[in-house]
Structure 1
Amino acid sequence: MGWRMRVVHTTGFAYDDAVTRSFNEARLTPLTDARQNVILNRVETTPATRPYRYMDYWGSAVTAFDLHVPHSALAVTGLSVVETESGVGPAGSRWSWEELRSEENLDLYAEFLAPTEYVPADGELAGAAADLARGVEPVEAVRRAADWVYSRMTYVPGTTSVHTSAVQAWSDRKGVCQDYAHLTLLLLRAMGIPCRYVSGYLHPDPEAAIGETVAGQSHAWIEAFTGTWWGYDPTNATAIDEQHISVGVGRDYADVPPLKGIFHGGRSTDLDVIVEITRLA
């Protein structure tokens, strides 16, 4: 049985002097796909703006807006109501290594196989990837890689930043969901399995009471292509279920930040992010 959830994600900025101009992109609109359906979504700003929406190259919804009046603070709120189901898993998605490594597929999924700034190539981790893939089919190799990351990393908030690469997080064996996802992507790309980064939210309580609002969290996991795309959560070593709400997909975090932009004027002095999730059904 699926869930229905309301998510309110608010990001607030304060500046030490008036900002005269700013140009921004928000990725706060959940995906509508085979696993989830968006019933309601709106993105609002204070000061008010006249935003416009488009789909980016990777298929994520972007709300773009700009401000041309002096302002000393900016708040951006995304409100969504979403129905979710458990992930479809890799059913019917059991391609062989030979199929994945065909010239056609190497070309088609090249962008999800190439190294990036957050997911660079690394010799040590490539060796670990080869060991994990040995003797199993790609679907099992995906689970092995994610579970390997889960068993060797320690979840410690504050030890990394949004700029930390998979290799940097691995050197300390500590990180958060973004690092777990990037490290798993590195292993999968070293194996030759196309894979992508997923941003979204995770309701923290599998036994959540209807109508109760809790402090939620932004979350990240991975999707792998082994004939079809399917997701897995390396931070929790679990399949994707009703508690996960997908918002954006891309090669790594750089493709899916909840909010990014540029501004002219005062220096940013404060950042406040609040995520509230309510299970409605």
Structure 2
Amino acid sequence: MTRLTINHVTRYVYDTKVKRSHNEARMTPVSDDQQLVLTAELAVKPGTAHIHNYVDYFGTRVADFDVPARHSVLEVRSSAEVEVHRRSVDPDAVGLSWEHLGSPQHQDSYAEYLVPTRLTTPGEALRAVAAEVREGADSPAAAVKEVFRRIREQVTYESGVTGVHTDADAVWADGRGVCQDLAHVSVAVLRHLGIPARYVSGYLHPDDSAGIGVTVAGESHAWVEWWDREWIAYDPTNHKYLDDLHVKVGHGRDYKDVPPLKGVVTGGGGTQALEVTVEVTRTA
């Protein structure tokens, strides 16, 4: 078990004051069977913001807020303390059969995680990868291992070469991307194989050598979960199953279902500067 404190601050600075803005923040971790949120708070500046909290269709905690007054700075600060207790994963477990995955009942139960989205629709190259993997895999579990092996060989982590609208095909062709891109490629191939897969948004404490009480620069992170009798999580960026340094915020079909912050402004704005910081402290 690991206990982590996470402070995530997003700050927009506008050239000219905006008349008002409406936003949604998905920055608060979720409690599930492998992590427990002990405390959580989300604060917005200006203080005139009206915040409405709810849980969306996919189970992610959302702070929906409107800033009705003119403002040149918007700051959203999420603070949480989370206990994480990941279960170990047996990489050699066989799990479900291809026949079970192909059954109408199973496909109906997990339909939303089998249908490709714009960001996860495989083109010719990724469909060919899926076909090769399927031909050599006697079980879905074996196929999943092979998919991640191929992604590790093909796609290198590199920041600044993609954006939030970059799709899985473009990432595979270029061979470079960030965590959300690696997650999109994973989801695209797994779904084409008939394996339910979902995109996960969260946080990562990047330094397992940092001692108790040491604050480090953390990361907003993304990984993937697939269904094989249960949802199993894997981090294709770091090429490993999740450990206690991963904290989940939410999941969906792709990035668009779980962006940390999105919104619209009315009047003014112009060029905007974006500042994002994530600090993580291990407290136990």
Instruction: Give the TM-score band, short-chain normalised.
Output: over 0.9
Match 1:252 to one of 254, 276, 280: 254
Aligned equivalents of 2:118, 2:264: Cα separation in 1: 21
SS at match of 1:241: coil
For 2:149, the equivalent position in structure 1 comes to 147
Would you say the 8 A contact 2:94–2:139 is kept in 1? no
For 1:15, the equivalent position in structure 2 comes to 14
Q: CA deviation at 1:169?
A: 1.1
For 1:163, the equivalent position in structure 2 comes to 165
Match 2:274 to one of 266, 271, 276: 271
Aligned equivalents of 1:74, 1:16: Cα separation in 2: 12
Structure 1: segments with no counterpart, 5+ residues: none
Among the aligned pairs, what percent are the same residue?
44
- What one-letter code is carried by the residue in structure 2 that aligns with 1:43? L
Q: CA deviation at 1:40?
A: 0.6
Aligned equivalents of 1:245, 1:136: Cα separation in 2: 33
For 2:31, the equivalent position in structure 1 comes to 32
Detail structure 1 runs of 4+ shifted over 4 Å in the superposition: 90-93
Q: How many residues align?
A: 280
Q: CA-to-partner distance for each residue in 1:259-278, whole Å, 9 max, x for gaps? A: 00111122242000000000
SS at match of 2:119: coil
Aligned equivalents of 2:172, 2:159: Cα separation in 1: 15
Aligned equivalents of 1:195, 1:90: Cα separation in 2: 18
Would you say the 8 A contact 1:4–1:82 is kept in 2? yes
Q: CA-to-partner distance for each residue in 1:111-170, whole Å, 9 max, x for gaps? A: 111111110132221121122232331122222212211121111111111111111111
Would you say the 8 A contact 1:11–1:274 is kept in 2? yes
Aligned equivalents of 2:125, 2:113: Cα separation in 1: 20
Please list, as runs of the form range in 1=range in 2, the aligned pairs for 1:92-111 lying within 5 A after superposition. Answer: 94-111=95-112
Would you say the 8 A contact 1:150–1:180 is kept in 2? no
State the superposition RMSD in angstroms: 1.4
Aligned equivalents of 1:269, 1:25: Cα separation in 2: 18
For 2:118, the equivalent position in structure 1 comes to 117
* TM-score (normalizing by structure 2): 0.95
SS at match of 1:139: helix
Q: CA-to-partner distance for each residue in 1:154-210, whole Å, 9 max, x for gaps? A: 111111111111111111100011111100111101100000000001111122200
For 1:83, the equivalent position in structure 2 comes to 83
Structure 2: segments with no counterpart, 5+ residues: none
For 2:263, the equivalent position in structure 1 comes to 261
* TM-score (normalizing by structure 1): 0.96
Would you say the 8 A contact 1:53–1:62 is kept in 2? yes
